[in-house]
Amino acid sequence: MAKRDAIPEVETYIDHQAGVIREVQPPAPRSKKAAERRANRAIYTALVIISVVWLAPFLFLVLQSFRSYLTEDGGMVSYLVPKAFSLDNYRFLFEDGRYLRWYTNTLTIALFVSVLQTGMVLSVSYVLSRMRFRGRRFIMNMILVLGMFPGFLTLIALYFLLKQFGLTQEGAIPGLILIYVASSGMGYYISKGFFDTIPKSLDESARIDGATRFYVFRRIIMPLSKPIVIYTILMGFMAPWGDYVFASYVAFGKSDSYNVAVGLYRWVNTLDFQGYFTRFCAGGVLVAIPITILFFLLQRYYVEGVTGGAVKG
Amino acid sequence: MADLEYLGLTRPQKALRRLAAFLTGLPGRLGRGLLGLLRALGRLARGAWHELRDLALTFMEGDWKTRTSFFIMGFGSIARGQVMRGLLFLLFQAVFLLYMLFFGGAYLAKWGTLGDVETTRQGRVTVYGDNSFLILLYGVLTLFFVLAFLYTWRVNVRQNRISQRLQQAGKPLKTAREDVAALADSQFHKTLLALPTLGIFLFTIVPIVFMVLVAFTNYDYNHQPPGKLFTWVGLSNFRTMLSAGSANYGSTFSQVLLWTLIWAFFATFLNYFLGMMVAIMINKKGIRLKKLWRTILVMTIAIPQFVSLLYVSKMFAADGLINSYLMKWGWISEALPFWTNPTWARVTIIVINIWIGIPYLMLIATGILMNIPADLYESARIDGANAVQMYGKITLPYMLFVTGPYLLTSFIGNINNFNVIFLLSGGGPMSMELGGNAGYTDLLITWLYKMTVNNTDYKMAAVIGIIVFVVTALINVVVYNMIPSVKHEEDFQ
Amino acid sequence: MRKIFALVLSLALALSLFGAVAQAEGFSGEVKIWVADAMVDLTHAKVEEFKAANPQYAGLTALIEAVGEGDSATNMITDVEGGADIFAFAQDQLARLVAAGALVELSEENAALVAEQNDAGSVAAVTLGGLVYAYPMTSDNGYFLNYDKSVITDPSTLEGVLAQAEAAGKSVYFEINSGWYQTAFFFGTGATVTYDVDDAGNLVKANINYASPEGLAALKGMIALAKSPAFVNGSSADNATNYAAIVVGTWARETLSKAFGDNYAATKLPTFEVDGTAYQLSGFGGFKMLGVKPQVDEAKLAACDALALYLTGEEVQAARFEQSGWGPSNLNVQQSEAVKADFVLSALAEQLQHTMGQGQYPGDYWSTATGLGDDVIAGKLNDLTDEQLMERLTQFQDILIGLANPQ
C-alpha cells in the first residue's frame, strides 16, 4: 500500500449547533470498502453454514424425540420429521419410574460433586498459587505424572476399594460422589492460573496488617474469584452427567443406582431393549435442557475461567 | 555457531539447525539426567543415614518421656502438657495397630505369593481360599498405611526432641490453641491440602500402583479370583508384548500407537487452528450477532457427550440419517462407508471431533484475542501489513505463546480420549490384519478397555497402560521443558 | 418283638433323618436374581408362586434386577462375590463363567431332571466336560430370515432376496461381521470351527477347516453378499431402517411385527450360490440358560437350586413364551399347540435343522471373526484371487488355532 505523500485537501463545514468548524471525513477508498464487505459476506456465509452444521444434530435429536414409540416407530427410521408429533416418549419417561430415578440420581451426584469438588479444587489451587512451602514443586510434578497414567485401568481397583466401604451397588451414588470428588484436586490448573492473575501485593499488605492466611483466603481472594468459583461449580455439575463407564461399573447391575448415562446407553445398546431409540432421544433432550440453560446463564464465567486457565496452564 | 550467522539463515534452515542442536544435545541431556538421578539417589542415601543418626541421638539423649514415645506415640507430648497433639498421635497409633491386626496385616503377610490357599469344594458347597486380587489391592493400601505410619512416627519422635530441647532451654511449648491457630495461618497449606491429598492417595495412587503391579502377575482369563489364584511372574508379560509372534501383539501395538499419535495430533492441532479461525471470524470488527454465533457453537459443550456422540454415531451409520437422505436425494447410490472402511472411519472421527472441539478453542481464543494489545495491530496496519501477515506475525505467535501448556495438556488428553472413540466407533472397524481385539480406530486406551472387559486380560492391559504412561511421559518431558510460559512460572505472576 | 422294635427304630431314624433334611432345605434370606428387563415382572410373580408352593422357602427374599443375558457374564466376571446368585446368560458365555468360577455344577438329581425335560441341544449346551453347569431356559438363540412378504415373495435364495429388495429400493440386513452370524456361510458349505473344552472351562483345542474349498466357497458367498447394494451389515431391527429382510432371532419379533405389520413373515435362511453350487445357509443354534453361582452356605445353595429349577421348568417356560414369545427348551412346552402354531418359532425350528449347536469359543474368536467380516465389508477382499483368499483363510484359521490354550 502506497503511503500518502501529499497532505490531502480537507473539506470543511461549519457545525452551527456546536459552533465549531469540522472536517468532512473523506470517504474511504471504494475498493477497500467493497473488499471489506465481501470479506464480511464470506464470513457470514461461513458462520451460517457452521451454525447449521452445529445445530443440526440437536435439532434432529429433538425432532426424533417427538416420534411416538407407540403409534409410529420407536426404533431408527430413515426419515427425520415424525409423521405425527407426539409426547408419548416424554410421557413414558415420566410415568416409568426408572428414568426419573436415574435423573434424580444424576442430579444428586451433580449437586454434591459441584459443591465438594469446588472446595477441593480451590483449596489445592489456592495453596499452589499463593503459598510457598517445602514439597510444593514435588506435589505439582506428582500430579502431572499421575495425570499421565490412563485412568481407566484403575477402574477395577477402584471398584473393589469402594466395595470395601459398601459404596457399590446400593451405595453407588455416594460412592460415585466420593470418587469424583476424591481426586478432583488434581484438576487445579485452571483455577491456579486464575489465582496467579490476582496481584500478590493484595495478600502481602493484608498479611502486614496481621491478617491470617485463612482470613486472606476468605476475605480477600474469594471475593475476587467469583468467575473461577462459578466456573468450577459449573464444571463439577456438568461432568457427572456424561460418565458412563465408571458409573456402570459402580452400579454393578443395580438399576436403581444408574445415572442417566448408564440407563440411556443401555436403552440403545442392549438387545433387551427394542424400540427405545426415540425414548433415548427424549431422555437426552431432558438431560440437555437444564445443563444448556445453566451453561448459557453462566457462559461469561466459563469463558473467563477457561481463558485464564489456558493462558496460565 | 555465531549468533549473527544464525540470524542470517532462512526459516527452514533455522528450524533444521534447532532440531540438530536438540538432537546433538540429547545424549548430553540424557547423561545429565542420569547423573542427576545418581545424585538424587546419593542424596536419598545421605538423607536416610542422617535420619537414622538423628533417631539414635534422639533416643540416647532423650529423657524417659522421649524414650517412651518411641513405643507409645504421643506419650512425650502428653507428658509435656501438649495433650491434644499427644492424643492425636496416640489415636493414630491405635488405629494403625487395629488396622494391621484386623485387616491389613493378613493381606500384607501374603504379599510374597499373593495367596496359596486354593478355593475348594466340599460336596457342592464352595470354600473360598485366598483372593489374590484383594491381597494385592489391600496389600498396596496397607503398604501406604505403613509408610504413613512410619512418617508419623518419625514426626512424633522429632517433636519430642524439639520439645525436650525447648524445655531444657526454658522456653514454653505451643498450646493446643496455638496449634489450631497455626493451621489457619502459617500451616494453612496443610489444612487445605489434607483432604485432597488423602483423596488422591486413596483413589488415584493406590489404584495406579496396584495396576502397575498387575503387569508383573499372571492375572488373566485362566487366573481369575476368587475361584483361582494368580501370582508374580516377573517381566514375562513385557516379553510377550514385545515379541512379534504371539497373538500379533507387537505389530498391532505399533499400529494402534501410531493411530493414537495421529489422532492426538489432528484432534489437538486441527481443532486448535480451526477454532482460532472461527474465533477470529466471530470477533472481526463489523460482524454482528457475535453472541449468537458463540452461543450456537457452545451447544456442543453444554450437551453431554454420551447423548450427542451416540446420536451422531448413529447418524453416520450405513443405514443412518445421512446415508438415507443422500440416497433419497440420489446423490449416492450406495451407502458411504463411514464406519466400515478404516480410512473413512478415521477421517469421520477426526471430523466429528472438530464439531466437539472447536467450541472450546473458540472460547479460549476469544478470550486471548481480546487480550492482544490493539496497538500491535494498529502499528502493523500502518506498516502496511495485510490480514494474513498480521495473523502470521502477531496473532499466531501470541496465541502459541500463551496456550503452549494448554496445547500440551490437550494433546495428552487426546491420547487418552476414551469417550469420543468409545461412543462413536467403539474402535471398529476391525481387521484380521490387527490382532488382540484391536480395531482401526482404537486408541491405546480403548484397546485396553476392551482387553479387560471382553477378554479379562488384565495383565496385558496393565502392560499397555504402563507403555501409554511412558509414551505420554516422554512427550511431556520433551515438550514441557520447551514451553516458555512454563519455564518462567514465577515471572508470569 | 425284636423285629418290630428294630423296624420302629429304623423308622424313627429314617423320620428323624428326613426331618433333618427337610430342615436343611429351608432357607430364608436374600437371593439376588438377574434376568432380562422384559422378564423382571414375570420372574417376580413366579418367585412368589414358588414360595407359595414351597413353604420352607417362604422366608426367601428375591432381589430381581434387570441385567440382560448379554451383560450378566461381564458383570459376574468382574465381581463374582457381588454378582447375582441366579443369573440368566447366553450359552456362549458358559466356558468364560466356569473359568471365572461363577457357576456351580448342578446336583446329580437336578442334572438328570434337566436332561429329561429339555431338548438334547440345550442339554449339550449346558454341559461342559461331563458336568452340567446351568438350567436351560430357552431354545431360541438362533437366527433365521425375517422378511416383508409384500416385497420378498420368494425367500428361497439369497440372490433372489437381494434382487427383490433392491428392486423395491430396500435393504437386507445380515450381520456378517459377527462371528455368530458369519457361521451361516461357513457351516453352510461344510466348513466348521469348534473348540474342545476341559473341565475347568479352558479351551484346549481348535477343530477347524476354514482353509479348505468349503471355507473358500463360504467366503466368496460373503463377498458376493457384501457387494450387493441392498446389503447392510447389522442385526439390530431396532436400528435398521427401510429394510425388506433381516437375519435375526426371535427377540426382534415385536419390533419386526411393528415394522412389517401384516406382511411380517419368517422362514429358514435362504440358500446361496457360489460357482454354480447352491448351499443352504446354516449357523448356530443357541440357548439361554439360568446359572447358579458357587455358594458357601449349603441351605442357600439348595434354595437357589430349587428356585432355578423352578424358573426354568415347564410352567415358567410356557409363561415366557406366552408373554414374550421366547422359544422353550422344555420338551413338553415345545409340543404345545400354541408353540407349534407360532410362525416365528416354526421358522426357527426349521432353520435349526440346518444349524450346529453352539459350543464354546474364546473371546478372541468373536473379534477375529469381526475382523474378517469387516475386511469383507470394507471391500478389501473384493479383487483377490482364490489363492489370495485362501491365504486369508489360512491366516484366519491359524489365528483361531492359536487361540486354543493347551494346558
Q: Which residues in chain A are closer than 8 Å to C42, comparing Cβ atoms?
A: none
CATH placement of domain C144-282+362-403: 3.40.190.10
Mean pLDDT of A226-251: 89
Report the residue of C171, C202, C233, C367 to disrupt the B interface, i.e. the one with the largest count of B CBs within 10 Å.
C367
Number of A–B residue contacts, CB under 8 Å? 265
Task: Domain ranges for chain A, please list them.
Answer: 31-57, 98-312
Q: Are residues C82 and A252, on separate chains, in Cβ contact within 8 Å?
A: yes
Strand pairing category for C231-232 and C277-280: unpaired
Residue B492: band (very low, low, confident or very high) from pLDDT cuts 50, 70, 90:
very low
| Amino acid A275: pLDDT | 84
Verify whether the Cβ–Cβ distance C72 to A253 is below 8 Å.
Answer: yes
> What pLDDT digit, counting tens, does each position of C171-182 carry?
999 999 999 999
The grid cell for C113 is 431332571
Ranges B446-450, C15-19, C403-407: which has the least confidence: C15-19
d(CA A180, CA A167): 13
| Cis preceding-peptide flag for B304 (omega within 30 of 0) | no
**Is the separation of the CB atoms in B326 and B332 below 8 Å?**
yes
Is the pLDDT at B90 greater than 90, yes or no? yes
Concatenating the DSSP letter of every residue in C323-372 gives HH-PPB-BHHHHHSHHHHH-HHHHHHHHHHTT-EE-----HHHHHHHHHH
Q: What is the mean pLDDT of residues B192-207?
A: 92
Per-residue pLDDT tens over the stretch A77-135: 888 889 999 999 999 999 988 999 999 999 999 999 999 999 999 999 999 988 888 88
Q: Is C1 helix (H, G, I), strand (E, B) or coil?
A: coil
- Give the number of A-C residue pairs with CB atoms closer than 8 Å: 72
Assigned CATH class of A98-312: mainly alpha
| Chain pair B-C, CB pairs under 8 angstroms | 114
**Average pLDDT for residues C142-163, to the nearest whole number?**
94
Residues 6+ apart with CB under 8 A from A119: none
ipTM of the shown complex: 0.83
C42 pLDDT higher than 80: yes
Residues of A in contact with C141 (CB under 8 A): none
Question: Would you say residue C135 has pLDDT above 50?
Answer: yes
pLDDT above 90 coverage of chain B, percent: 27
- Compare B5 and B226 and report the one with higher pLDDT: B226
Of B239-243, B313-317, C39-43, C130-134, where does mean pLDDT reach its minimum? B239-243
In which element (H, E) is residue B61 found? helix B11-61
pLDDT, one tens digit per residue, over B336-359 is 889 989 999 999 999 999 998 898
CA distance to B204, B220, C286, per residue, from B244 (Å):
33, 20, 36
Residues of A in contact with B316 (CB under 8 A): none
Contacts of A204 (CB under 8 A, 6+ apart): none
C86's grid cell: 441366579
DSSP code of residue C57: G
The residue of chain B with its CA nearest to that of A196 is: B493
Q: Is the pLDDT of residue B144 over 50?
A: yes
Reported as a single tens digit per residue, the pLDDT across C181-218 is 999 999 999 999 999 888 777 888 899 999 999 999 99
pLDDT by residue (tens digit) across C322-338?
A: 998 899 999 999 999 99
Sequence-separated (6 or more) residues with CB below 8 Å from residue A189: A125, A309, A312, A313, B405, B409
Residue B455 with chain C: CB contacts under 8 Å: 363-364
Q: Over the range C380-403, which residues count as b (16 or more CB within 10 Å of their CB) and which as e?
A: bbeeeeeeebbebbebbbebbebb
pTM for the whole structure: 0.86
C233 interfaces chain B, CB cutoff of 8 Å: yes
- Contact C224/C157 with Cβ under 8 angstroms? no
- What average pLDDT does the segment A205-217 reach? 88
Pick from C70, C72, C240: CB nearest A271:
C70
Q: Indicate left, alpha or beta for B411 from its phi (over 0: left) and psi (-120 to 50: alpha).
A: alpha
C-alpha cell read off for C190 = 461344510
SS3 C212: coil
| Mean pLDDT, all residues of chain A | 84
Helix, strand, coil percentages for chain B (3-state, nearest 5): 75, 0, 25
How high is the pLDDT of residue A3? 42
Closest partner residue to B295 among A46, A296, A308, by Cβ?
A296
Chain B nearest-CA distance from A237, in A, is 11
Residue B98 has pLDDT above 80, yes or no: yes
Cross-chain residue pair B367–A58, CB shorter than 8 Å:
no
Among partner residues A75, A169, A255, which is closest to C255 by beta-carbon distance?
Answer: A75
Q: Which of A106-120, A288-302, B462-476, C329-343 has the highest mean pLDDT?
A: A106-120
C18 pLDDT band, cuts 50/70/90, is very low
pLDDT at site B170: 86
Distance from CA of B13 to the nearest CA of A (A): 30
**pLDDT surpasses 60 at C3:** no
The reply to whether residue C374 touches residue B430, judged by beta carbons under 8 angstroms, is yes
* Chains touching B by CB (3 or more pairs below 8 Å): A, C
Q: Give yes or no for residue C19 having a pLDDT over 80.
A: no
- DSSP-derived secondary structure for B247-299: GGHHHHHHHHHHHHHHHHHIIIIIHHHHHHHHHHHHHSTT---HHHHHHHHHH
Q: Compare A283 and B393 and report the one with higher pLDDT.
A: A283
| pLDDT category of residue B373 using cuts at 50, 70 and 90 | confident
Please report the pLDDT score of residue C110 as a whole number. Answer: 94
Centre a 10 Å sphere on the Cβ of residue A7 and count the other Cβ atoms it contains: 6
Say yes or no: do domains C27-140+286-351 and C144-282+362-403 share a fold.
Answer: yes
pLDDT for position B242: 75
Report the relative pairing of strands C243-248 and C144-148 from DSSP bridges. antiparallel
What mean pLDDT is predicted for residues B102-111?
90
pLDDT higher than 80, residue A311 = no
Q: Determine the average pLDDT of the residues in C124-131.
A: 87
Chain-chain contact of C296 with B128 (C-beta, under 8 angstroms) = yes
Distance from the Cα of C233 to chain B's closest Cα (Å) equals 8
Interface contact flag, B452 A156, Cβ < 8 Å: yes
What pLDDT sits at residue A6?
A: 45
pLDDT for the residue B122? 86
Contact C194, C358 (CB under 8 A): no
Alpha carbon distance A248, B449 (integer Å): 14
The predicted model gives B62-86 an average pLDDT of 88
Q: Are strands C29-35 and C144-148 parallel, antiparallel or unpaired?
A: unpaired
Residue C66: its chain A contacts at CB < 8 A? 255, 272
| pLDDT value, residue C31 | 95
What local confidence, expressed as pLDDT, does residue A17 receive?
Answer: 60
Residue C23 — very low, low, confident or very high, per pLDDT cuts 50/70/90?
very low
pLDDT at B244 > cutoff 70:
no
Please check the confidence at residue B396 and state whether its pLDDT lies above 70: yes
d(CA A193, CA A183): 19
Q: Please give the Cα distance from C151 to B423 (Å, whole number).
A: 35
3-state secondary structure of C296: coil
Cell numbers describing residue B389: 501477515
d(CA C371, CA C399): 11
Q: Are the CB atoms for C290 and C43 separated by under 8 Å?
A: no
Contact flag A273-C37 (C-beta cutoff 8 Å) = yes
> What letter does residue C185 receive in the DSSP assignment?
H
B319/C232 touch (CB, cutoff 8 Å), yes or no: yes
| Residue C63: predicted pLDDT | 93
> Is residue C236 predicted with pLDDT exceeding 90?
no
Nearest residue on chain C to A256, judged by CA atoms?
Answer: C65
Rounded Cα–Cα distance for residues C234 and B340 (Å): 11
A5-A9-A15 Cα angle (round to 5) = 140
Helix (H, G, I), strand (E, B) or coil at C77: helix
Q: Give residue A16's pLDDT.
A: 63
**Cβ(C32)–Cβ(C65) below 8 Å:** yes
Q: Scan residues 182-241 of A and list those with Cβ closer than 8 Å to B.
A: 182-186, 189, 196, 200, 212-215, 217, 238, 241
CA–CA gap between residue B6 and residue B430 (Å, rounded): 50
User: Going by C-beta distance under 8 Å and a sequence separation of 6 or more, which residues neighbour residue B232?
Assistant: B113, B114, B216, B217
Task: Report pLDDT for A308.
Answer: 62
pLDDT-based confidence at B3, cuts 50/70/90? low
Q: Measured between CB atoms, which of B247, B439, B456 is closest to C77? A: B456
For the segment C263-312, what is each residue's pLDDT rounded down to a tens digit? Answer: 999 999 999 999 999 999 999 888 999 999 999 999 999 999 999 999 99
What chains are in contact with C, requiring at least 3 Cβ pairs below 8 Å? A, B
B179 confidence band (pLDDT: 50, 70, 90): confident
- Give just the sign of the alpha carbon dihedral A86, A91, A96, A100: positive
Judge whether residue C350 has pLDDT over 60. Answer: yes
CATH 3.30.470.20 fits C27-140+286-351, yes or no: no
Question: Is residue C166 within 8 angstroms of chain B, CB to CB?
Answer: no
Best CA proximity match to C75, nearest among C62, C84, C66, C86: C84
Other C-beta atoms within 10 Å of C28: how many?
13
The partner residues of C62 in beta bridges, in order of sequence, read C31
Pick the more confident residue, B177 or A308: B177
Distances (CA, A) of B205 to A143, A174, A185, B82, C269: 10, 21, 13, 34, 55
Does residue B490 have a pLDDT over 90?
no
List chain C domain ranges: 27-140+286-351, 144-282+362-403
Q: Give the strand pairing for C86-90 and C29-35.
A: parallel
Q: What percent of chain B has pLDDT over 70?
A: 91
